[in-house]
Amino acid sequence: MLTFPRAMNPTIYGILSIPRNYQVLLRKSSLIVNLRFVIYGYTTGNMSRQFFIRDADALFNDAQFMIDAFDSTLPHLAATGNSEQWGTEPLSKKEGHVQRMHDTVAKSDNFRKTGTGEPLRVFIAEIEDDHVSSEYPSNDRLARRTDRNGKSFVPVGFVKVLDEQFVSYLKTSDDLKDHVGPALEKGNFVFLQYLVTDHRVGEKRRGAGAALLQKVKDYAAEKGWKTIWLDCWDGGNGQLVQYYVDRGFRSIGSFQDTHDKDEAPWKGKLLRMDLA
C-alpha cells in the first residue's frame, strides 16, 4: 500500500540523479558514523530543492520518524475524502505497528550489510534545514541529525522496497494471480511497498516522493533489474493511481483486500513500471 499524501502534486519538470555516492562522517551523540547518501535534485517551476537519500538506520531513530510520518498523513487523507485508505485511528496506536517499523529498519540494515535475511530496504529522504528556523515550532518533534560541519538535516519522506517479493495479500489475490504468479517465477524485480512523505514539514516535502521514486529506479537498475511493481489505494477520487501513472507506471489490475471482516473491502490497484 502506498501513499503520496498530497491532494495536488506539482508538475515535475526535472529529476536529476547525481551518479555518485557521497560519503560523510556524521556525529550522533559521542559516535562517529560513516554514512553514504545520494543527492537528488528536484525542480518544478521556479523552485529547486536537493534531497539527500540515505539508508534507514536505527542510530538516527528512523523507525520513530516512519511512525510519525505515517500518522501525519491521516488528517490529510480524511480532508480529501480518502480516510478509508488507512482509517482515522493513528497507526501508532494500532497493535504491532510500532514494533513492525523498528523491525523493518533492523531488517533493512541487516540485508544491506550482509545480503541475508528478509530482502528489504528502506531509504530516507532528507533536506538540509536550519532547525532554529521559525518555520517549525520548537516542540515539532522532528527527527534531526547534525553533520560534523554543524549542518542540520531533517527527514521528509521514506520508501520501503522488497527484492523479488510481493506482499502476502497480493500473492493470495485471485484477481491478480495471472500477474503475480508469473512475476514471482521470473524474478528480477523490485516491489515498492510504502512511499510516505511527512506532512509535519509542510511544503518542505514537495518533491520528496519523486526523488524517492527515482531512488527506487536507481536501486533496481543497480541490480540489473528492469521492472518495478507497486500497489496502491484505488478509492476516493483516484488521484493516487493517477500520480503513479503520470510517472510511468501502468495499471495492471484491480483487487479488493478483505482480510478485515469488520471493515469494507480495501480497493487497490496493481501497477508496473518497465525500465528502459
Lowest average pLDDT, out of 56-65, 142-151, 164-173, 189-198, goes to: 142-151
Cβ partners under 8 Å of residue 98, min gap 6 = 63, 67, 92
* pLDDT tens by residue, 22-39: 444 343 333 334 456 678
List Cβ neighbours of 204 (8 Å cut-off, separation of 6 or more): 127, 129, 154, 156
Across 59-68, 126-135, 260-269, least confident range: 126-135
- For the cut 70, the answer to whether the pLDDT of residue 4 exceeds it is no
For residues 49 and 15, is the Cβ–Cβ distance under 8 A? no
3-state DSSP assignment of residue 102:
helix
CATH code of 14-274, in short, is: 3.40.630.30
Residue spans of the domains in the chain: they are 14-274
Contact of 254 with 241, CB cutoff 8 Å? no
Q: What is the pLDDT of residues 201-223, one digit of tens each?
A: 999 999 999 999 999 999 999 99
Checking if the pLDDT of 238 tops 60, the result is: yes
Percent above pLDDT 90 for the chain: 63
- Per-residue pLDDT band for 224 (boundaries 50, 70, 90) equals very high
Is residue 112's pLDDT more than 70?
yes
At residue 2, does pLDDT exceed 80?
Answer: no
Higher pLDDT, 133 or 241: 241
**Residue 144 one-letter amino acid:** R
Distance of alpha carbon 244 from alpha carbon 205, whole angstroms: 17
| 236-247 mean pLDDT | 93
Whether the predicted model's global pTM rises above the 0.75 cut: yes
Mean predicted lDDT score pLDDT of the chain: 83
Higher pLDDT pick, 142 / 174: 174
The pLDDT score that the predictor gives to residue 48 is 74
Higher pLDDT, 123 or 48: 123
Nearest to 2 by CA among 218, 236, 184, 230: 230
Give all strands (DSSP E) within the chain, no chain letters: 14-17, 22-28, 31-44, 47-55, 120-128, 145-147, 152-163, 189-197, 227-233, 250-257, 266-274
